[in-house]
């Protein structure tokens, strides 16, 4: 079994170290991509997960990557190797999957773009661990045991770090970040659908800044 390189591990550590909060972004109007991401960056958040949850995700990764070179721009909700290849070509700097498959884990080892695989159980973590992964998304965090589950993962796997997402809110982010094995927290509360629909970029910037201040 081929193993993840130190380069990949360092890159993912850099991504998780660059921002304690990672917005999970779904682009519904392609014109929103740049102003929305600029507002998040202006509010202090420099790591952006743009999901393939809408048909505009792929193009948004490409445009945001060239418009905001100071941000880390990654692809989220990648569920197949075909999508992984597409986001590589679009210029994604990291890839996040909601869960793991053997083919995604294998592809992530060889790709130039590092992978943060999603896991919800110890067995899934072990699948990734075998390939050399030491950082995972924990999804869906709240319903999979939340803070207590992450504490338990730290027993058998003290060197593994996590980015929990799913059900986390502004008020609960700090409870996760208080754990030694949590490096960043992700969520969609940073980009509320109604605020984005109103194109209220000043409010997005405020939410980002306020959420960081609350930590």
Spatial contact of 122 and 153, defined as CB atoms under 8 Å apart: yes
Rule CB under 6 A: is residue 145 a binding residue for ligand 3PG?
Answer: no
Would you say 91 and 73 are in contact if contact means Cβ atoms under 8 Å apart?
yes
DSSP string, 59-78: HHHHHHHHH-TTSEEEEES-
List the one residue from 21, 24, 48, 92 that touches ligand 3PG (CB under 6 A): 24
How many residues lie near ligand 3PG (CB under 6 A)?
A: 11
- Residues 55-94 as b/e (b if ≥16 CB within 10 A, e otherwise) read ebbbebbbbbbeebeebbbbbbbbeeeebbebbbebebbb
Contact status: 172 vs ligand 3PG (CB under 6 A) = no
The answer to whether 97 contacts ligand 3PG (rule: CB under 6 A) is no
Q: Report 121-140 residues binding ligand 3PG (CB under 6 A).
A: 139
> Is residue 159 annotated as part of the catalytic site, yes or no?
no
- Is 188 one of the binding residues for ligand 3PG (CB under 6 A)? yes
Binds ligand 3PG by CB under 6 A, chosen from 186, 191, 201, 207: 186
Q: Which is nearer to ligand 3PG, 132 or 140 (CB)?
A: 140
Which of 124, 164, 170 has the alpha carbon at shortest distance from 143? Answer: 164
Min dist. Cβ of residue 24 to ligand 3PG (A):
4
Closer CB to ligand 3PG, 135 or 168, in the complex: 168
d(CA 137, CA 117) in angstroms, rounded, equals 6
**Selected range binding ligand 3PG among 60-68, 87-95, 120-128, 182-190, rule: CB under 6 A:** 182-190
Residues that are catalytic: 49, 137
């Amino acid at each position: 079994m081929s193993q993840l390189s130190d380069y990949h591990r360092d890159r993912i550590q850099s991504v998780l170290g660059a921002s304690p909060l990672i917005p999970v972004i779904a682009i519904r109007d392609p014109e929103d991509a740049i102003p929305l991401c600029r507002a998040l960056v202006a509010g202090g958040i420099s790591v952006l997960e743009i999901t393939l949850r809408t048909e505009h995700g792929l193009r948004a990764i490409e445009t945001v990557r060239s418009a905001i070179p100071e941000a880390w721009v990654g692809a989220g909700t990648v569920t197949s190797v075909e999508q992984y290849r597409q986001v590589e070509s679009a210029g994604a700097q990291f890839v996040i999957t909601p869960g793991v498959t053997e083919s995604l884990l294998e592809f992530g080892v060889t790709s130039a773009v590092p992978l943060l695989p999603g896991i919800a159980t110890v067995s899934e973590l072990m699948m990734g661990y075998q390939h050399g992964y030491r950082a995972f998304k924990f999804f869906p965090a709240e319903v999979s045991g939340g803070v207590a589950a992450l504490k338990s993962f730290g027993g058998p796997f003290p060197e593994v770090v996590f980015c929990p997402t799913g059900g986390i809110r502004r008020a609960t982010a700090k409870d996760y970040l208080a754990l030694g094995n949590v490096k960043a927290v992700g969520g969609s509360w940073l980009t509320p659908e109604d605020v984005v629909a109103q194109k209220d970029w000043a409010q997005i910037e405020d939410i980002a800044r306020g959420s960081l201040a609350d930590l």
